[in-house]
Amino acid sequence: MLNILVVGDLILDEYLFCDCLRISPEAPVPVINPKYNKLSLGGCANVALNIKKLGANVDVLSVLGNDECANFIKKMLKENEINYEIISDKNKKSSKKTRIFGQNQQIVRIDVESCEVISDDMADCLFKNIEDKNYDAIVFSDYDKGVLSPYLVKKIISFAKNKNILTLADPKKDFLKFKDIDILTPNYKEATEFLGLFDDEDDDNLSKKLILMKEKLNIKYPLITLGKNGIALYNNNTLTRHLALAKEVFDVTGAGDSVISSLAYFLSRKKDINEAIKLANKAAAIVVSKIGSYAVSIDEINEFSEDDIYKKQVKNISEFVQKNKNKKIVFTNGCFDLLHLGHLSYLRKAKQLGDLLVIGLNSDESIKRLKGLARPINDINTRLAMLCALEFIDAVIVFSDDTPLEIIKELKPDILVKGADYKDKEIVGSNFAKQTCLIDFVDGYSSTNIINKIKETQC
């Protein structure tokens, strides 16, 4: 079984659920009526709990105050069979975050804590508890509460390097103390504070920032978690984006913990970095669908379906027609290999013609027959996901024939849309549509032109 160490700030999370039905006459604030509360492990304890639930042995290394909050955290760690080496500091106030919810919406958070950085002597005392141990991975969970001093972090990273132990950190403010670590997992806000502002939707801009992070900190895998935009990794001179998989977002608490926990576990299992990120993305999607911190199991990750990415795909046309019999259906088709401005303009105009825009999408095999073996550039799943992500597209139907004739026969769209270049040409399926409409393209845009430009830049 894997053995993983988690070092960082321990926090007790309290969730107070209330009824909130009116605004106070004394001030513009909600009046709440507490119903029940829930206590759970937070901070590095939540990271440890996540790793434990995935199936590894976990040790926790930290500092707490000598108070009731500390006692409760230790009790919960013990109940969850998580080993710990915790120094009690009578001058420290253990961290507790109380989140107050009204009608399942967070209203306010109350933090009780002290955040003084631990002394080097205390760091040495902590380190003595692990210097004779072997771990598969060491995770630093930094909540800026004082446990992860630069001195302690440097000492543990050096220890890990000598023993060839994987190291990961979820940083808060001070990135530089994690120099020489294997993996850093900042979110967008944290990354901008260290690297400067950047457009996370621009690949070139994002790549430069990830390269800068790698160079400044000498890390193996620079990555940034981007919330709804997923996770970005720069590796082997290539930027890889892993799309967010969340179906519904109720509470983002603990999402970062689930990501670093999953990465530590799956990389320790010798998974490839991209595969580990895919699995971590699934864990994060599950966590944000819950209220409060939540530890995800291996079974939940394995059972998580990414099908919602393709939720606009239609496989039963007759059922779709029956369900939307009172809607004005617009249909068009294409390969949509490399989405560009021309596609977006064309599809937006098509949508404006009716209630529902349905796209017929050529399969990979169909495109190869039409355009040659070098195409498509993007496979069917990628092209399907991109079309499903566009808000003005209501449904996508994949077809393997050379033309969408069979789809049009069954769909019988109110309007069949083609490009203006079809003027005076026979349009397949037009006799099964109530109306045919031609739409002008934006000049200068095509997938072929983009591919040719890329080829020219490589010459």
pLDDT tens, position by position, 337-348? 988 888 999 999
Whether residues 317 and 293 fall in one domain? no
- Residue 3 annotated in ligand binding: no
Which pTM was predicted?
Answer: 0.66
CB 437 within 8 A of CB 353: yes
Which of 272, 305, 338 delimits the end of a domain?
305
Whether residues 175 and 321 fall in one domain? no
3-state helix, strand, coil in the chain (%, to 5): 35, 25, 35
Whether residues 94 and 221 fall in one domain? yes
Catalytic residue among 13, 170, 257, 364: 257
Whether residues 276 and 345 fall in one domain? no
Q: What is the pLDDT of residues 85-120, one digit of tens each?
A: 999 999 999 999 999 988 778 889 999 999 999 999
CATH number for the domain that contains residue 392: 3.40.50.620
Which of 290, 305, 320 delimits the end of a domain?
305
Q: For 216, how many CA atoms within 13 A lie in the half-sphere containing its CB? A: 16
* Element at 344 (helix H, strand E): helix 341-351
Residue 78 CB coordination number (10 Å): 11
Which of 305, 339, 357 delimits the end of a domain?
305
Whether residues 298 and 380 fall in one domain? no
When divided into structural domains, the chain yields a total of 2
Q: In the 3-class helix/strand/coil scheme, how is 268-306 assigned residue by residue?
A: HCCCCHHHHHHHHHHHHHHHCCCCCCCCCCHHHHHHCCC
Q: What is the pLDDT of residues 277-312, one digit of tens each?
A: 999 988 888 887 665 667 888 888 877 766 556 778
pLDDT above 70 as % of the chain:
95
Q: How many Å apart are CA 451 and CA 448, to the nearest integer?
A: 5
Whether residues 215 and 72 fall in one domain? yes
Whether residues 18 and 57 fall in one domain? yes
Whether residues 218 and 324 fall in one domain? no
Q: Which residues pair with 83 in a beta bridge?
A: 59
Any residues with CB less than 8 A from the CB of 378 and at least 6 apart, and which? Answer: 337, 338, 386
Please check the confidence at residue 193 and state whether its pLDDT lies above 70.
Answer: yes
Segments forming the whole domain that contains residue 23: 3-305
Whether residues 432 and 298 fall in one domain? no
- Residue 37 annotated in ligand binding: no
CATH number for the domain that contains residue 296: 3.40.1190.20
Any residues with CB less than 8 A from the CB of 6 and at least 6 apart, and which? Answer: 44, 47, 48, 51, 58, 59, 60, 61, 138, 139, 141
**Burial state string for 168-184 with b = 16 or more CB within 10 A and e = fewer than 16:** bbbbbeebebbeebbbb
Whether residues 167 and 274 fall in one domain? yes
Pairing relation of β-strands 221-225 and 231-235? antiparallel
Determine the 3-state secondary structure of 118 from DSSP: coil
- Residue 193 annotated in ligand binding: no
| Token couple for 33 | 């009526």
Amino acid of residue 290: K
| 249 confidence band (pLDDT: 50, 70, 90) | very low
9 is annotated as an active-site residue: no
pLDDT score, position 308: 56
Whether residues 327 and 299 fall in one domain? no
- Residue 190 annotated in ligand binding: yes
Indicate the range of 47-61, 158-172, 246-260, 359-373 predicted with least confidence.
Answer: 246-260
Whether residues 170 and 301 fall in one domain? yes
Amino acid of residue 163: K
Determine the 3-state secondary structure of 212 from DSSP: helix
Any residues with CB less than 8 A from the CB of 179 and at least 6 apart, and which? Answer: 154, 157, 216, 217, 218
